[in-house]
Amino acid sequence: MRLPLPSREYNFQIETLRNQTIEQADLINQKINQDVEIADGQRLIVRSANGSRFSLVVSDAGVLSATSI
């Protein structure tokens, strides 16, 4: 994220732009204690204790499977 440099004096337009930039970035951040939904075409990658990585998928029947990547 790149925020505009602060001006020496208060500038309403710059502060408005700064706030909008922060709010837009915040919308795409994952939040604690909120559900995470993965859209079509996106993957959920998890890492095991030994560092192996797996892609998790679920079928239309609700069957969960993991594929090593």
The pLDDT score that the predictor gives to residue 66 is: 95
Closest C-alpha among 25, 30, 26 to residue 2:
25
Examine the pLDDT at 52 and tell me if it is beyond 90: yes
Amino acid 6: pLDDT: 81
- The predicted pLDDT at position 37 comes to 85
pTM of the predicted protein model: 0.53
Provide the β-strand partners of residue 58: 64
User: What's the pLDDT tens digit per position in 21-43?
Assistant: 999 999 888 889 988 888 888 88
Burial class of residue 66 in the structure, from the number of CB atoms within 10 Å of its CB (0-12 exposed, 13-18 middle, 19+ buried): middle
So where are the chain's domains?
38-69
Query: How many helices (H) does the chain have, and how many strands (E)?
Result: 1, 3
